[in-house]
Structure formats: structure tokens, C-alpha cells
Amino acid sequence: MPRRAISYGRQTIEEDDIKAVVAALRSDFLTQGPLVSEFEELIKAHTGAKYAVACSSGTAALHIAHLASGIGKGDKVITSPITFLASANAALYTGASPVFADIDPNTFNIDPAEIEKKIRYNSPVKAIVPVHFAGLPADMESVRVIAKKHGAVVIEDACHALGASWKDSRGAVHRVGSCSHSDMTVFSFHPVKAITTCEGGAVTTNDKRLYERLKRLRTHGVTKDEVEFELPSDGPWYYEMQEPGFNYRLPDVNAALGISQIKKLERFVSRRAEIASLYSAMLSKHQFVRMQAESEGRSSAWHLYSVRIPFEELGASKADWFSMMRSIGIHPQVHYIPVHLQPYYRRAFGYGPGDFPRAEAMYAEEVSLPIYPGLTDEEAGAVVAGLVSTLACASAARGAVRPRAAM
């Protein structure tokens, strides 16, 4: 009997999530209201940050985080080429230019040594935006040191990493989102992420002034708080627009889902971690598969289970393999096409192949295997069995010797 296709990621919606959303629909508030504040309180409690601003998407959250940092026309912002487009596009929206720093080929995260190199040729750099790839925290201690030295703001793109944590060199544990080594941290609540609000995102910070500005930018650049007024108030209806802002609000209906979901975060992340260990145990028998290096003390949120397979060495076409996997009902994904290779980035900034060799080598090899809380152990087993058999076929199809390790 054909089973449902196993996709690389999937939301987990339970009966109580549905009840929470229905109750919100019957309430007086549909757009931003008391549930958004309640959701923000829970984000603060989970991350340990002083302030949280919920937004309509992770992309919106990245955009206002950039604006609140004062990033604008002519500025340069460093991020990883191995990320979702939005990490780099946020700089574009403000008129700034994204500058990429190549990855560490083992952790798949931005390499601090590469950031240093890029700053040397692009000084001044206004901000560094590390991405916690697949949920594995980037080297925040090094990023912080570099940023301090060069007067750059740090915005963590933690869209993969709600629920992750890491240990510093003194042994203290930091939750991603606490902003202990950054100015702001951005999350996404897209359905494939750790928890979902359908569309949604948030910024956390410990800086009151950034917090006030983020709130203004989320809603048209308007404030109703009289301590912030530039002009004398005309009366109780008075409000002021102090800069061009947006409508980036999260609806209360979506916040209701977020509240219900964030209470399950620990359960969701531990199930993801279980699946990851299962994959790692099964794949350790197939030595041609390279897993993301687990760094000492860094605890991943396992948004992705990302591996590298040397297709070329195995004489297999990645595209053929990918299609074969889909034909047996397993839908892996590729994270990511390096951002600098996108037509727009080539055109606008003159980037091209060869500019970030480690990112490009990763792109040739990377595949993300299905991982989400609802994936069963049996399905994970089927994914690995499918991977091994299709890989053997894909390399045989090329007329190559079947990979010995895959048989």
C-alpha cells in the first residue's frame, strides 16, 4: 500500500493546537492583541532574553532587526553563503550590501577566520549575521570578539535554532535567543521550523532602545507611548509616526497557535534529537556519508539532518539520486543553493562560481534527510535503506562501479 510521501520537514499540529486557534477566532481580537503579548512572554521565558517582538514572518523580523541596528544605504553586512535567501536579502531591503564569508566545511556554519578576512577588505562592516545552520549554534564567542573589535552589530539568524544551546569556554550554558553574544536574535515559525504559527517570526534582544524601535518598525513607525513623543500631544487619540515602518504584525489567531506550540518545544526538539541519533547510528555503517560535526558543548535544535555525500567520487549524479528518492516516496531537500550563485546576486554584485569554494563544494554534496517530530523510527529506517539502494542505482546508472560501502 503506498504510504504518504516522507518530506524533509513537516509541522506537528495536535488537537489542543486546533482548539487554541478556534478559541482565538471567537475572541475580540484577530490581529495583534493580548495573545501576541502572551506569546512574547513565552519566547522571553524560553530564550532568557529581556525583550521579544513577534512579527508576521522570520523575514520581516530580520528586516526590522537590520533597520533597528541603523543599517542602511551603502553599509556592508556579513553573512553565510549557505543559508536561506532571507538572511542576505534583509540587508538588501535596507540598501546595504551583503558580503559573504565562507563556511567551515565540517560544521557547515560560517567560519570566523573567513569573517576576519572579509572585514579586512570590506571595512567598515556594519553587522555580522551568523546563521545557526540546521540548528547547530555557530561559534558565537569568536563572532562576538570579531564584532567588538570592528564595532559591528551581531544579529543571529536563529531561524533553525529555537531550542538550541551551547557552552562557552568557561562552561556557562547559553540558550540561543538569549542574546548573550549578540545584539538581536531572529526566529521563524514557518511550518518546517521547530514550532509554527503558520507564518510568523520574532526578534529577541536585551537592549531596551532596540526593543522600542523594533516595536515601532513593526507597526508603521508609529508610537502611542507619550514618553517617546517628539511633539506635544494633541489629546488622548494622539500618535506619532517617527520613521517609515511596516505592517509586520503577527495576528492573535497565529499567536494562539504559537502559545500552544511553544509549550511543546522541548518535546519536539528531543524527538528531533532522537531521530538524529538514530540516523547517525544507521549511517555510521556507510562511511561515505559525512555528518555535520557535532562541536563540544553545542546542542543542536536539529531543524535539519544535513549530510554530505561525495556523489562525484561515488560516480553518481546527485540529480538522478534525488529523483530516485522521490520516486520511492522519500523527499529529501538540498540546503542550500549558495546565495551568491543566484542570478540576482551575480548581476548585482558580480559574484560567480569559484567565489566561495567551500560553500560550493558543500552544495555539490549536501542533502537533508527527513526530520520532524512526527517521523517514526520505521520511516527513518526506510529513509536510510532507500538512500543506500538508490545511491547504488544512481552510480550504476552512470556506469560506475557500485560504491562498495553502499552495498
Ligand X SMILES: *Cc1c(COP(=O)(O)O)cnc(C)c1O
List residues binding ligand X (CB under 6 A): 57-59, 83-84, 86-87, 131, 157, 159-160, 188, 190, 201
Encoded amino acid at 352, one letter: G
Q: Which contacts of 372-380 are long-range, i.e. CB under 8 A and separated by 24 or more positions? A: 372/9, 372/10, 372/11, 372/12, 372/192, 372/272, 373/12, 373/267, 373/268, 373/271, 373/272, 374/10, 374/12, 375/6, 375/10, 375/275, 377/275, 377/278, 379/6, 380/275, 380/278, 380/279, 380/282
Compute φ and ψ for 254, nearest 5 degrees.
-70, -35
Nearer to ligand X (CB atom), residue 218 or residue 223: 218
Here the cell at position 156 is: 543571529
Q: Which residue is nearest to ligand X (CB)?
A: 58
Helix (H, G, I), strand (E, B) or coil at 396: helix
CB of 345 to ligand X, least distance (A): 16
Cβ 130 to ligand X, closest distance in Å? 10
Q: Which residues of 276-295 are buried (b: 16+ CB within 10 A; e: fewer)?
A: bebbeebbeebebbbebeeb
Smallest gap from Cβ 203 to ligand X, in A, equals 12
SS3 94: coil
Tell me the backbone φ, ψ of residue 331, rounded to 5 degrees.
-110, 90
184 vs 384, beta carbon nearer ligand X? 184
Euclidean distance between CA atoms 175 and 293, whole angstroms: 20
* Nearer to ligand X among residue 177 and residue 386 (C-beta): 177
Shortest Å, Cβ 191 to ligand X = 9
Single-letter amino acid, residue 203 = V
Q: Name the one residue in this structure whose C-alpha cell is 564569508.
A: 101
Q: Cβ atoms within 10 A of the Cβ of 117, count?
A: 13
Taking the complex as a whole, how short is the minimal distance between the CB of residue 388 and ligand X, in angstroms? Answer: 28
Q: CB nearer to ligand X: give 59 or 295.
A: 59
Count of H helices and E strands in the chain? 13, 17
**Nearest-approach distance from CB 131 to ligand X, in angstroms:** 5
Min dist CB 190 to ligand X, Å, is 4
- Identity of the residue, 59 or 109, whose beta carbon is nearer to ligand X in the bound complex: 59
Q: How far is the CB of 192 from ligand X (least distance, A)?
A: 8
By beta-carbon proximity to ligand X, the closer residue of 153 and 394 is 153
User: Based on CB atoms, which residue is closest to ligand X, 131 or 214?
Assistant: 131
Report in angstroms the alpha-carbon separations of 185 from 39, 103, 131, 245: 16, 20, 10, 20
- Measured from the CB atom, the residue of 86 and 147 that comes closer to ligand X is 86
